[in-house]
Amino acid sequence: MITNFILNGEDVVVRTSAGIRLIDILRKNFCLFSSKSGCLTGQCGACSVLFNGRISLACLIPAFKIRDSEIVTIEGFSQTIEYQEILSGFIEAHLGNCSYCESGKILCADALLDQNPSPSNEEILIGFSGIKCRCTNAERLIKAINIIANLRKERLHGRSS
Ligand code: FES
Ligand code: FES
């Protein structure tokens, strides 16, 4: 099958089989390696991407579902001011990072704050429950997301409360 979609802001076309996973298309057809090919069973979150604006697992999305969709990987997201804010929050909170699922954590933070600009501690942990990160301490994760939420509010509204 030939299918078209928007990848990191650009219209792209790919020839593939209907059942091929999005994670394989990203890595093999487009050489986008930030989303990792981890468990491939929907358990680890290392393959996370933004799929039509929602954090989604690229290992569970077959090619036939991507037609006309909009997909963002960290390679595209890294060009945004939101990326810089999230990175700042991660660094300031000393969030551990071996980089294995770092792109998933960054995209997850963006999707969470898009849907809920002021998440509670519990909502933060629930929002990240799909990312099984060995480097992430819950306390530091909560601190990081609160820092990022405040940076985003200051940018958008000129205040952090
Ligand atoms: S590789 Fe997709 S959830 Fe683990
Ligand atoms: S950054 Fe997630 S396992 Fe290390």
pLDDT at 99: 86
Q: Which long-range contacts (CB under 8 A, 24 or more apart) does 121-129 make?
A: none
Residues 67 and 90 in one domain: no
- Entry pTM: 0.93
Instruction: Report whether 95 contacts 136 (CB < 8 A).
Output: yes
Residues 95 and 152 in one domain: yes
Residues 120 and 152 in one domain: yes
Single out the residue of 81, 133, 88 nearest to residue 108, CA to CA. Answer: 133
Indicate if the pLDDT at residue 11 is higher than 90: yes
Q: Is 39 in the pocket of ligand 1 (CB under 6 A)?
A: yes
pLDDT tens string 60-104: 999 999 999 999 999 999 999 999 999 999 999 999 888 899 999
Out of 136, 137, 140, 141, mutate this one to test ligand 2's pocket (max ligand atoms within 8 Å of CB): namely: 136
Last residue of a domain, one of 74, 89, 117: 74
CATH classification at residue 59: 3.10.20.30
Q: Is 135 in the pocket of ligand 2 (CB under 6 A)?
A: yes
Bridging pattern class, strands 48-51 and 70-72: antiparallel
Alpha helix segments (H runs only) across the chain: 22-24, 74-77, 81-92, 102-115, 121-127, 138-157
Last residue of a domain, one of 15, 41, 74: 74
